[in-house]
Homo-oligomer: A and B are copies of this chain.
Amino acid sequence: MLKKYLLAPGPTPIPPEILLAMSGPIIHHRSTDFTPILESARKGLKKLYQTKNDVLILCSTGTGGMVGAVNNFFSAGDKVLVINGGKFGERWTQICREYGLKVKEIEVEWGYAVKPEEVEKALKKDPAIKGVFIQATETSTGVNHDIKKVGEIVKKRANTLFVVDAISALVAHDIKTDAWGIDIMVGGSQKGLMLPPGLAFVSVSEKAWKKAKKASSPKFYFNFKKERVSQAKNQTNFTSAVTLIIGLDESLKMLQKEGLKNVFKRHKKLAAATRQAVKAIGLELFARESPSDSLTAIVAPKGLDGQEIYKTLKDKYGITAAGGQGRARGKIFRIAHLGYTGMFDIITAVAGIEMVLAGMGHPVDPGSGVAAVERFFLK
């Protein structure tokens, strides 16, 4: 038996409490057996999002939420600005172009965060820009963009919506939807919320609802106006993903019990410990600035293939982490510290990395990274 450990940036491990909650008999989505659960989950999501806005629940992966964030608020021909610093920045561009939007990109070198003043400059240059699209955590690089500062810039413009993909950032990071002026924010179930894949969440500000009135892109499965009406009655427009929403309610209750401040602090610590271990082993972070607290992207040592490190971790040691995506493939590997994660998961990951590197002939002092993690938590 090779015991398995899941440390990938989604799906993340599911707590037994949530698995148990989702294992009950199915109930009907249009009945009073279910509506109080949806109501409770909706309230919990608003707290997590730190918003008074609607937070819609969709039956799709996070990408479905991203599509809905485009076609419900924009029309073919609209000019938008995409911050593209990785594979998921690219995805915003792809979705916007598929719907005929005119995309101007700020290309950010992979491993770096966008400079807020560049966003300001781009917006000043083109007053017609109707939306700014960004990631909170860019999962492919492990970098966080400064959502607060970019939000302050976009907020000043009455005709521009601020659209944030927080799929990987949510739960790990303290993101203040209302205070930071986020008009639309997308989340997903299989990340910090510790659920199986299958749900997306999208918050929508009043400013965005006003824009939605004029958006002419075709939409049916993700029709946010209709979802808003249904969800105000604690139903969904189409059949609800009953099981996952039961799990969502349980997850939100667990997070509320821990306290959101403590949840954010836990992720901050786990991430910091991971980064210190990476340095203690003599490795480099792929994030040159603003590393995410959701996951850590690590540069493969010279001469070693990042995919090989990922595969050896998985096949030899049972640790499922992640390799690199797109142009970072082969160059990096990634470890998540997101959701149902504690300090000994980090120790497992770090020990695994040390052993894999040693096995590949890379000079590494076994236990050096683990020692750094222990010392961090002993402080």
User: Could you list which residues of chain A lie within 8 angstroms of chain B, going by C-beta atoms?
Assistant: 4, 6, 8, 10-14, 19-20, 22-23, 25-29, 31, 33, 59-64, 67, 71, 94-95, 98-100, 188, 190, 196-198, 217-222, 238-244, 314, 320
Contacts of A27 in B (CB 8 A): 4, 6, 11, 320
Contacts of A240 in B (CB 8 A): 197
Contact A64 B221 (CB under 8 A): yes
Contact B26 A220 (CB under 8 A): no
CB distance from A80 to the nearest CB of B (A): 15
Mostly helix, strand, loop or mixed at chain A's interface?
Answer: loop
Contacts of A29 in B (CB 8 A): 11, 197
11 other A-B residue contacts (CB within 8 Å) besides A33-B320, A61-B221, A100-B218: A6-B28, A11-B26, A11-B28, A19-B25, A59-B60, A60-B221, A61-B239, A61-B241, A98-B220, A197-B239, A221-B221
Contacts of A197 in B (CB 8 A): 29, 59, 239-243
For the complex, give the distance between the alpha carbons of A23 and B238 in Å.
25
Contacts of A63 in B (CB 8 A): 220-221, 238-239
For the complex, give the distance between the alpha carbons of A6 and B31 in Å.
11
Contact A219 B6 (CB under 8 A): no
Most buried by B among A20, A33, A100: A33
For the complex, give the distance between the alpha carbons of A95 and B239 in Å.
16
Most buried by B among A4, A33, A220, A314: A220
Contact A243 B28 (CB under 8 A): no
CB distance from A364 to the nearest CB of B (A): 25
Contacts of A100 in B (CB 8 A): 218
For the complex, give the distance between the alpha carbons of A239 and B9 in Å.
11
Contact A217 B218 (CB under 8 A): yes
- From A76, which residue of chain B is reached at the shortest CB distance? B218
Contact B60 A218 (CB under 8 A): no
For the complex, give the distance between the alpha carbons of A33 and B63 in Å.
23
Contact B28 A19 (CB under 8 A): no
Listed A/B pairs (11) with beta-carbon separation below 8 Å:
A10-B239, A19-B25, A23-B23, A31-B320, A71-B218, A95-B220, A100-B218, A196-B242, A197-B243, A198-B241, A221-B221
Contacts of A67 in B (CB 8 A): 220-221
